[in-house]
Structure 1
Amino acid sequence: MSKFLKSFSFLVTARRTVANRRYNWRDEGIQYPGFKYYPRYPDFKDPPYEPSKLFRVQRIKPLKGVPYYEKKILSDFKLIGKSSDVVIIKNIPENNERLWQIKHLIKICPITFPDGFPSDTRGAYLKENGELKVLKVLQSEEQRLQLADEFRHKPERIDGDTLRRDSRQKWLSAWE
């Protein structure tokens, strides 16, 4: 009976020492809103970063086998249709939390504005890498329009029939 108690006391003490050797990570991380980051080096500093205002989100995985609550999030973002559909989503904490839940089903790309933030979305297109390009709109000048109109109504202007006859003559006697 005493041998049994000795072996039992050894097991109890071994368990107590394992619990005492656990490392405490509580004070080492950098707390960010929503998560804690444990840097590789203790003197780690975040680089300056300007967050994007908008995200380009595209579904890349099929819906087969996806739980109903993830399908609900996808339908709220209107990503239930074809997998090639692209939507633009605001970068706000509520949307980021929902995107985090379905991050394995989608591709997220921040939208950048190399030509500046557009005041009018006409003539703008979104590239696959997230760049929003704005095409320059051609403005017509009043003076050019007036000159073109005067030229059309000028009596000395060559009409189509005269131009055809003249071109035919030049074609027939090109090297003479």
Structure 2
Amino acid sequence: MNISLKYLNKQIFPLQLYSRFASRNAYNWKNEGVQYSGFKYYPKNSDFKDEEYAPSKLFKIKRITTLKGIPHFEKKILTEFKLDGKQSDIAIVKNTPENNSRLWKIKHLIQIVPITFPNGFPIDSKGTFLKENGELIVTKVVGEENKLIACESFVKNVKKLDGDTLRRELRRRWLSGW
């Protein structure tokens, strides 16, 4: 009588099939991770140093998909941010936990760009310009005396290119070829 060893093991040790993962090594990584608020990060290298990062105060949000076919609760969030109109509309949103939780729910529908202030935080919105990469540029206000001096220096500048000079130079380049 030729009995298979596999069949015999099933008959003699039926619990071994269900407990085969019980003897795996359980690793103890208690002191190896870096604790953050809400999660623990286990770095690849033991000498890992976290970079200093100042979070942005504001986000620029732009809708990248259509409103057609998305659930009503996502549409509601988009209308709260006033992004239910044209697709080119943008919204400026504060970086708060409440807004971040709402943005997390619609992250697949929008593009989020943190706003940075390379020239400092503006006092008022006059003279500011928001670029596509999220930089808010604050332009300096020029006084009346400085405007007159700048205008006179521009008019008297010998190297400036006025319309006649540009036309003559471009015509000369056109005719010469190379």
Distance in 2, matches of 1:80 and 1:34, equals 32
Of 32, 44, 47, the residue aligned with 1:43 is 47
Relative to structure 2, which stretch is displaced further, 123-132 or 65-74? 65-74
Residue 85 (1) aligns with residue 85 (2) = no
Counterpart of 2:105 in structure 1: which amino acid?
Answer: Q
Aligned sequence identity (%): 57
Aligned residue-pair number: 140
Within a 5 Å distance, the mapping from 1:66-145 to structure 2 comes to 66-141=70-145
The corresponding residue for 2:168 is none
CA deviation string 1:20-45 (max 9, x = no partner): 43756874554433444343334322
The corresponding residue for 2:176 is none
Relative to structure 2, which stretch is displaced further, 112-121 or 23-32? 23-32
TM-score by length of 1: 0.67
Distance in 1, matches of 2:111 and 2:90, equals 10
Give secondary structure in 2 for the equivalent of 1:15: coil
Cα 1:71–1:34 shift into 2, 3 Å: farther
State the shift of 1:121 in Å. Answer: 0.8
Cα 1:86–1:16 shift into 2, 3 Å: same
State the shift of 1:17 in Å. Answer: 2.1
Distance in 1, matches of 2:33 and 2:99, equals 25
The structure whose Rg is larger is 1
Flag structure 1 segments of 5+ consecutive residues without an equivalent: 145-176
Cα 1:139–1:86 shift into 2, 3 Å: same
Cα 1:135–1:48 shift into 2, 3 Å: same
Flag structure 2 segments of 5+ consecutive residues without an equivalent: 1-6, 149-178
The corresponding residue for 1:18 is 21
Q: What is the root-mean-square deviation of aligned Cα atoms in Å?
A: 2.7
CA deviation string 1:119-145 (max 9, x = no partner): 11111110000000112222224xx7x
Distance in 2, matches of 1:123 and 1:112, equals 16
State the shift of 1:9 in Å. Answer: 5.9
The corresponding residue for 1:174 is none
